[in-house]
Amino acid sequence: MSETTADWDALERAAVEAAQRAYAPYSRFPVGAAGLADDGRVVTGCNVENASYGLTLCAECGLVSALHAGAEPGPAPRLRAVVVRRGDGRPVMPCGRCRQLLWEAGGPDLVLDGDGTRRPMPEVLPGAFGPHEL
């Protein structure tokens, strides 16, 4: 499934909707992520904060978890397109940890819109570490 087949507007709406369900009482910075999987599913995630800040889960963590939790048994599903948005709809780039999570879930074929621009993952995470390194 190529990047051009993604409905980017629908992914953006799904990301903003997911952000509305975020649990962000400490930062008041709700974030939602929506992704198109290679099996055609649209999966979403939102950030979930914790009083112990280090335990906070980013929206992309929820997205990758939903990708795997909703998949049929067999080969791991792959993300093809991802959009990340704040609760007010503004773009937000994933943190470094989440860029690595997205790389593992989509690799170099994944296209990310986290800043209002669609970029292939090698531009977002140059020199990425992945399973091929092990």
Active site residue 60: yes
Residue from 12, 60, 72, 133 carrying the catalytic annotation:
60
Residue-by-residue DSSP string for the chain: --GGGS-HHHHHHHHHHHHTT-B-TTT---EEEEEEETTS-EEEEE-B--SSGGG-B-HHHHHHHHHHHTSPSSSPP-EEEEEEEETTS-B-PPPHHHHHHHHHHHGGG-EEESSSSEEEHHHHSTT---GGG-
Residues noted as catalytic: 60
